[in-house]
Structure 1
Amino acid sequence: MSAWIRYFALRLLLVVALPAVLVAAWWFASESSTDVYWPPLRTILTTFPDVWTGERLRQDVLPSMARLTAGYGCAAVAGVALGTVIGSYRRVRAVCEPVLEFLRAVPPPVLVPVIMLFAGIGDTMKIAVIASGCVWPILLNTVEGVRAVDSVMSETARSYGVTGVARLRHVVLRSASPQIFAGLRQALSIGLILMVISEMFAASNGLGFTIVQFQRGFAIPDMWTGILLLGLLGFVLSVLFRLVERRALGWYHGLRDASRRSS
């Protein structure tokens, strides 16, 4: 029990050590600041609870998270489905690869005016912007994961009569799942960025809209509280994703831990 407590304490120390150092450095570096655009961290932290009340969280944070969830979910479904098809068939991959390379090179923020022409200025536009950026890391990682499925495992499954949906579920997607989750992890940070960018265009609520309004009104400490809130949301989403990934890929992490112990 004491060994487990020491391990937990060490892990906690490693997690909080660097953030604590950075916050302390920010605190002391800005302590005597008189710059309007660089207020002391003490002022920002004091302003935070006054700005982000329960009502503002309902009006701005919840709509932003709903858009992020919808866009990210659409990208995950489309990316895994298309990536599985493209990765499974060589001819399909040969036809699609030049187009995919072209489209993924286009920065998603550039597409905002184009998407606004077709989807309007409502939530549909914002969800489409998020999905258009999140889909690429998921799609490309799924393609590579499906291509890397062990041929011996695939032939063994076929010889035992494991075909169709069963083969797709238990062989292809299971083998590709570590890379699929790697793409999902990359897409989550991209989605958070695009969520803010999309809300800076023709929006009436959301975190991006509110931060821009603070900046335009020269409410600089309030603007900084919005940036801090975005960082906290990113951290929480990362922790939640890691928990889901650890549970979904328990077999994979177990194999890795076992191989480390044996070596």
Structure 2
Amino acid sequence: MSTELGVRSAVVVAPPVVDRKVRQRRSWLPALLRTVVGRSAAIVVLLAVWEAAPRLGLVDRTFLPPLSEVLRAWWGLLDGGRLGENARASLVRSFSGFGLAVGIGVPLGLLIGWYRPLAELLSPLLELFRNTAALALLPVFVLVLGIGETSKIAIVLYACLWPILLNTISAVRTVDPTLLRLARSLDLSPLRLFQKVILPASVPVVFTGIRLAGAVSILVLVAAEMVGAKAGLGYLINASQYNFAIPQMYAGILTISVIGVAFNQLLLAIERRLTAWRPGPPTS
């Protein structure tokens, strides 16, 4: 009899696993829905206004067609292969210049930030070039390097280099002095100090520059492709404007926006992975 009561009490006390999982699912589903709705509400409103304003006559639909027409034009460009061809050309140029800027800017910024004499030597030159807009030098790049791929990759490289370089220099110089004193008290060599303290502490600020450069790489390239290019999203937008194919023009602009957001989210995910030790995740 006592054994039977013990079994019954065990059955009663033991929490059902299925019910616990259901409760957990119910607890995070509303939070997830609130996050998705909160992040997408403004975009949904913008798209709804874009669709409704031309149809209600609030704006001239000749110059701002409804979103549905733009999406049909976008699908036509994608189905015909033009969108993929031009997007591919832009992405190759943009990623090439951006990758070269990261490969040059991060090591050079770490070096300049770490060695004060080198920083003092190069400071006037850095101030001169950082205040010279990349698009202002576009004619110079075209004259020197021609209208081919080299000039477009070079202008992206130049535009992306400065956010990465300057943020990297700032990251090294603004490392918490307490960390440096603690590391020096452990008799770490300068190389170990750089590897174990300076470099990890600099990653968040360095990635801020990299994310800024990611946005710049696309914007500057689109402007460069409007001059002497035969492929690319900038060329597609410019040609559509000249041919008065306004829905196709907006389709190209929409494609650039989506690529920019996707690229930023990719960089943000990499940043989160590399700075997982930090107490709070970076914000987009």
TM-score, normalization by structure 1 = 0.90
Q: 1:21 aligns with which of 45, 50, 54?
A: 45
How far apart are the structure 1 equivalents of 2:38 and 2:195?
A: 37
Give the aligned partner of residue 194 of structure 2.
168
Give the aligned partner of residue 264 of structure 2.
238
Kept in 2: contact 1:30–1:41 (CA 8 A):
no
Q: 1:104 aligns with which of 113, 118, 130?
A: 130
Against the structure 1 CA distance between its residues 66 and 169, is the aligned structure 2 distance closer, same or farther, given a 3 Å change threshold? farther
What is the number of residues matched between the two proteins?
A: 255
Deviation at 1:240? 1.5
State the one-letter code of the partner of 2:37. Answer: L
State the one-letter code of the partner of 1:15. Answer: R
1:78-103: CA deviations, max 9, x gaps? 21112111111222222222221221
Where does the alignment leave 5 or more consecutive residues of structure 2 unmatched?
A: 1-23
Alignment of 1:74-113 (within 5 A): 74-113=100-139
TM-score, normalization by structure 2 = 0.83
Against the structure 1 CA distance between its residues 169 and 54, is the aligned structure 2 distance closer, same or farther, given a 3 Å change threshold? farther
How far apart are the structure 1 equivalents of 2:213 and 2:43?
A: 23
User: Is 1:137 matched up with 2:186?
Assistant: no
Deviation at 1:232? 1.1
Give the aligned partner of residue 55 of structure 2.
31
Query: Helix, strand or coil: the match of 1:154?
Result: helix
Question: Which protein shows a greater Rg?
Answer: 2
Against the structure 1 CA distance between its residues 224 and 172, is the aligned structure 2 distance closer, same or farther, given a 3 Å change threshold? same
Give the aligned partner of residue 249 of structure 1.
275
Alignment of 1:86-235 (within 5 A): 86-158=112-184, 160=186, 162-163=188-189, 165-235=191-261
1:6-41: CA deviations, max 9, x gaps? 221111111111100111111111114454222222
Kept in 1: contact 2:55–2:61 (CA 8 A):
no
Kept in 1: contact 2:54–2:61 (CA 8 A):
no
Percent identity, aligned pairs only, is: 34
Kept in 2: contact 1:200–1:212 (CA 8 A):
yes
Where does the alignment leave 5 or more consecutive residues of structure 1 unmatched?
A: 258-263
Pairwise CA RMSD: 1.9
How far apart are the structure 2 equivalents of 1:54 and 1:169?
A: 51
Deviation at 1:181? 0.7
User: Is 1:60 matched up with 2:86?
Assistant: yes
How far apart are the structure 1 equivalents of 2:134 and 2:185?
A: 44
1:183-203: CA deviations, max 9, x gaps? 111111111101101211211
How far apart are the structure 1 equivalents of 2:174 and 2:104?
A: 20
